[in-house]
Chain A
Amino acid sequence: MIELADFLELDLPALATGTLAALACGLLGNFLLLQRRSLLGDAVSHVVLPGIVLAFLVTGSTSTWPMMLGAGAAAVASVFLIDLVQRAARIEAGAAMGVVLTSLFALGVVLLEQSGARAVHLDVEHALMGSLEGIVWLGARDFSALVDPDRLATLPEPLLRLAVVTTMVALLLLVLRKELTIASFDPGYATSLGIPARAIGLVLLVASAVAAVAAFAAVGAILTIAMFVCPAATARMLTDRLGRQIALSALAALLAGTLGYALAAWAPLLFGSERGLGAAGMIAVVAGCLQGLSILLAPRYGALARARARSRGRRSGEGATARGGVP
């Protein structure tokens, strides 16, 4: 049913790209969640539009690198703008993101309409929606390709980009874990110790913006936004230790990436259909399902566990009162 050459040429690169995107965004999502900035992915997805239009207007090219650089520059600029708005207006992060993402998106639309860029086929679609199925590794016919440097050099670009970004994200969290923790938990105390909480927060946001842009082009905005939120939120329900939360979020991202892709690519075959489902969408669905399950079934914080604890508490509370004892 599944041939090796098909798997290596078509499935493996797409599967790896989707999973790496999930991993990069999912790992960063842990600290974004703790800083109540989970919606950064959403903000960045809107901010990318003016960046792409400007990059086209400046270079006159619609090829990948100018688009990526424009999107990346806009995303990083928006991070500083969000920080500026947040401090100048003394409002919470979510509100600052809302203000920045709507105004910059509007700017992008105006630029698109007024500059004549609309006449050209501008690849906004590709930068935002991505195309996981379009990521193929031509010429990989058997497993020897996995150890052949010449063949590995022809790995699809989005996959290589995400491999680099995911590695850098993992290194960042490894090296800055203690600083990110204190800056997220108690920025005032961190600053009083000479640990610049604000700068560390900006490093996290810039890394997230870069990861988001790399992920958009490969897997699309919807999956990217979902991955900033779902794996971390899933893990958060399951533990109250940060180390375990990060490990569990990585596991959730890996599971969503592989299971989501497998369901999209091969489940329809089981039902005799030749048409695959959208892989990026399916990965996001699996991530959402995992989160739903954890909200329901988590051992301590899940809805069921809480309901049980409540009813048990009520019963034992009544018992204590009846006996006149101290609970």
Chain B
Amino acid sequence: MVLSSRIRDSFPLPPRPADPVSPLAVAGLTVAYHDRPVLWDVDFVAPPAGLVAVLGPNGAGKSTFLKAVLGLIPKLAGEVRFFGRPLDRKSGLVAYVPQRTAVDWDFPITAVEVVAMGLYHRIGWLRPVRRRHLEAARVQLDRVGLADLADRQIGQLSGGQQQRVFLARALAQDARLYLLDEPLAGIDAASEQVVVELLRELRATGRTVIVVHHDLESVPGIFDEAMLLNVRRIAAGPVGTVLTPANLARAYGVTFAPKVAAVVGG
């Protein structure tokens, strides 16, 4: 706590007004673990509908960015607005898909029961999950192509199928803004296709989807916009303007950047 306030005092961050209408507007977001800054003075404005990639090397603060805007970890400074307002979690307007490795897949629960969690805020406190909730969850599982695996224990699914279960849970929430942490990491080609199709479907229905992503090669084919992070925000905007050799060099370092640039054709 002492170290945190020292960081704050040495770099006074003037409050800036965040964009009033964007699904997610972030101004001056700063996060530190102990005395090590993980995110520094990051500004970001999400488009009203579209697919946005959050990119950067390992340890750049990509996952931290999602957790901090959701208030899952404390921030030192910065303002975060969802649709012009502070986050009302119970509204369910913002759906979060954690990294697949964040949970214990041996947990005694079935795929359809996990998806039904996306309805918990609507079911309300102290009320049980009923048959109609599970039926609604099945519909979402069908959307990700897993209707026939609904009653499997989640540990018996492949990595890609597990990721689709997580996505189905977010779909069940029927949110306006989706924040996904590495949904395409380590999954099979069939699952990747399903996930990407659904992301496009969300965009087509006016949703904004922000995706932490590590594979630069696939960015131009999937995403409209990107933010390049390495503790600080390196660049943000349409993919073509973000993935330039100069920006990549600043994010990934000069030795690695040429390889990265070759991959994305920059």
Q: Which residues of A contact B (CB under 8 A)?
A: 34, 175-179, 181-182, 184-186, 188-195, 236, 239-242, 245
How many B residues touch A, CB cutoff 8 Å?
35
Contact present for B129 and A178 (CB under 8 Å): yes
Nearest 10 Cβ contacts at the A-B interface: A194-B89, A194-B90, A192-B96, A240-B153, A240-B108, A242-B108, A193-B121, A188-B98, A186-B103, A185-B107
B9 interface hit (Cβ, 8 Å)? no
* Closest chain A CB from B75 CB (angstroms): 15
B102 interface hit (Cβ, 8 Å)? yes
B190 interface hit (Cβ, 8 Å)? no
User: Beta-carbon contacts of B112-126 to A below 8 Å, as 1s and 0s?
Assistant: 011001001101011
Q: How far is the CA of A178 from the CA of B67 in the complex (A)?
A: 23
Please, could you name 13 A-B residue pairs with CB atoms under 8 Å apart, sorted by A? Answer: A179-B125, A179-B126, A185-B104, A185-B117, A186-B117, A188-B96, A191-B70, A191-B72, A193-B117, A195-B120, A236-B108, A241-B153, A242-B108
Contact present for B121 and A189 (CB under 8 Å): no
Contact present for A34 and B67 (CB under 8 Å): no
Contact present for A241 and B123 (CB under 8 Å): no
Closest to A185 in B: B107
Contact present for A239 and B108 (CB under 8 Å): yes
Closest to B121 in A: A193
Q: How far is the CA of A188 from the CA of B89 in the complex (A)?
A: 12
Q: What is the interface of chain A mostly: helix, strand, loop, or mixed?
A: helix
Chain B residues positioned under 8 Å from A178 (CB to CB): 120, 123, 127-129
* 6 further A-B pairs in the complex, CB-CB below 8 A; given A188-B96, A192-B95: A185-B117, A186-B98, A186-B117, A188-B98, A189-B97, A193-B120
Closest to A242 in B: B108
Q: How far is the CA of A182 from the CA of B155 in the complex (A)?
A: 16
* Closest chain B CB from A187 CB (angstroms): 9
Chain A residues positioned under 8 Å from B114 (CB to CB): 185
B96-152 residues at the A interface, CB under 8 angstroms: 96-98, 102-104, 107-110, 113-114, 117, 120-121, 123, 125-129
Q: How far is the CA of A175 from the CA of B104 in the complex (A)?
A: 24
Which residue of A179, A192, A241 is within 8 Å of B108 (Cβ)?
Answer: A241
Chain A residues positioned under 8 Å from B120 (CB to CB): 178-179, 182, 190, 193, 195
Q: How far is the CA of A236 from the CA of B123 in the complex (A)?
A: 27
Which residue of B88, B94, B107, B127 is within 8 Å of A34 (Cβ)?
Answer: B107
Q: How far is the CA of A34 from the CA of B96 in the complex (A)?
A: 22
Contact present for B96 and A189 (CB under 8 Å): yes
Chain B residues positioned under 8 Å from A240 (CB to CB): 108-109, 153, 155
Contact present for A192 and B72 (CB under 8 Å): yes
* Closest chain B CB from A104 CB (angstroms): 24
* Closest chain B CB from A145 CB (angstroms): 38
Contact present for A188 and B67 (CB under 8 Å): yes
Q: How far is the CA of A193 from the CA of B71 in the complex (A)?
A: 11
Closest to B90 in A: A194
Contact present for B117 and A182 (CB under 8 Å): yes
Chain B residues positioned under 8 Å from A185 (CB to CB): 103-104, 107, 109, 114, 117
